[in-house]
């Protein structure tokens, strides 16, 4: 994505803060970037890391394209990316970070940056180790901590960083801009619930695995009231495609969006998903939308702890429909 355009158009305050800090060489040693779910925090932070490391006197102008690509791909010696959102960050990862950055720079630029995505998910043990690192910042070392849930960040962390808030882009604006740059409306509507950047929506709309799971979720919903067909969809499509924790979580996420929007329509509120009128006709007659949403959300959270993902999916629908109805299939 074009981070400069994104910052200029939608994030005026963060743009001015970082532009002036870089131009005047008055960077803080650690930043907490806070945004709603779907905000392109990782992309923006990696862009900022690149500009800081390159040290170009003209802010946001990157001349070294190889440097940019290496940081984007986590292949730069003086850049460390830890992802507590998609994976597990261990205490040794934080300790190794401190040890690595205490040594002489591996690269010619002499500046180092570390980034922790989903910092709110760190264990207490990791947070304590990170606090020590933040309290005693090393020269020419900068941190970007990223969160989609600022309320879960401990005050001890917040007191040691500069907090930068990213505003959410209105979904209708986001959808219309995504359509302008080539995204099909039906996809733009769904993806706007998960990505708060039209460039990110465009990128995901071209991702085959993303569109495949969306299509399977839609196929599930089209057969939600046809139990034999639903059973066939689950076994012939869902279980074959959603065969790991990541794909199963996304499958549940898409279903949850549709059920929540169906509940909004039931309560006479408008929906963003205007391309899916026929699906909502089926969902409107669903006996317990609230219960189904709670069950889907619970199952989504159980993915990490359930050893048999196939059974989790089957049991989810069994519980939604009730044992008696499900067993009549």
pLDDT tens per residue, range 52-97: 998 887 888 888 899 999 999 999 999 999 998 877 788 999 888 8
- Number of Cβ within 10 Å of residue 326's Cβ equals 17
User: What DSSP line would sit under 300-323, residue for residue?
Assistant: HHHGGG-S-HHHHHHHHHHHHH-H
Residue 194 contacts residue 38 (beta carbons within 8 Å): yes
pLDDT of residue 75: 93
First CA to last CA distance, the chain: 47
Measured between alpha carbons, how far is 42 from 166 in angstroms, rounded to an integer? 12
pLDDT of residue 329: 45
Please list the ranges in the chain whose pLDDT falls under 70. 306, 322-329
pLDDT tens per residue, range 306-320: 678 788 888 888 888
pLDDT of residue 323: 57
> Rounded to two decimals, what is the model's pTM?
0.78
Query: What is the DSSP pairing of strand 112-117 with strand 141-147?
Result: parallel
How distant, in Å, are the alpha carbons of 89, 171, 173 from that of 4? Answer: 30, 20, 18
pLDDT of residue 306: 67
pLDDT tens per residue, range 196-217: 888 889 999 999 999 999 999 9
pLDDT of residue 327: 54
CB-neighbour burial class of residue 20 (10 A; exposed 0-12, middle 13-18, buried 19+): exposed
């Amino acid at each position: 994505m074009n981070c400069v355009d994104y910052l200029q158009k939608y994030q005026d305050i963060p743009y001015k803060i970082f532009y002036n800090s870089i131009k005047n060489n008055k960077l803080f040693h650690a930043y907490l970037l806070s945004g709603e779910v779907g905000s392109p925090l990782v992309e923006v932070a990696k862009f900022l890391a690149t500009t800081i490391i390159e040290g170009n006197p003209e802010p946001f102008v990157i001349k070294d394209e190889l440097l940019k690509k290496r940081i984007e791909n986590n292949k730069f010696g003086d850049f460390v990316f830890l992802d507590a959102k998609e994976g597990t960050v261990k205490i040794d990862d934080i300790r190794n970070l401190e040890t690595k950055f205490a040594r002489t720079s591996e690269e010619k630029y002499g500046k180092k940056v570390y980034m922790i995505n989903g910092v709110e998910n760190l264990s207490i043990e990791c947070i304590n180790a990170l606090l020590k690192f933040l309290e005693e910042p090393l020269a020419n070392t900068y941190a970007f901590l990223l969160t989609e849930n600022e309320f879960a960040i401990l005050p001890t962390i917040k007191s040691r960083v500069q907090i930068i808030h990213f505003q959410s882009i209105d979904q209708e604006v986001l959808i219309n801009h995504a359509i302008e740059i080539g995204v099909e409306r039906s996809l733009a509507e769904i993806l706007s619930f998960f990505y708060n950047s039209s460039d990110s929506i465009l990128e995901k709309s071209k991702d085959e695995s993303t569109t495949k799971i969306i299509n399977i979720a839609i196929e599930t919903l089209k057969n939600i009231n046809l139990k034999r067909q639903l059973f066939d969809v689950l076994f012939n499509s869902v279980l074959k495609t959603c065969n790991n924790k990541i794909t199963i979580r996304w499958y549940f996420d898409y279903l949850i969006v549709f059920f929540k929007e169906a509940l909004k329509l039931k309560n006479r509120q408008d929906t963003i998903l205007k391309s899916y009128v026929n699906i909502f006709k089926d969902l409107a007659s669903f006996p317990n939308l609230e219960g189904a949403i709670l069950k889907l959300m619970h199952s989504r959270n159980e993915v990490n702890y359930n050893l048999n993902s196939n059974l989790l999916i089957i049991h989810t629908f069994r519980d939604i429909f009730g044992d008696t109805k499900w067993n009549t299939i």
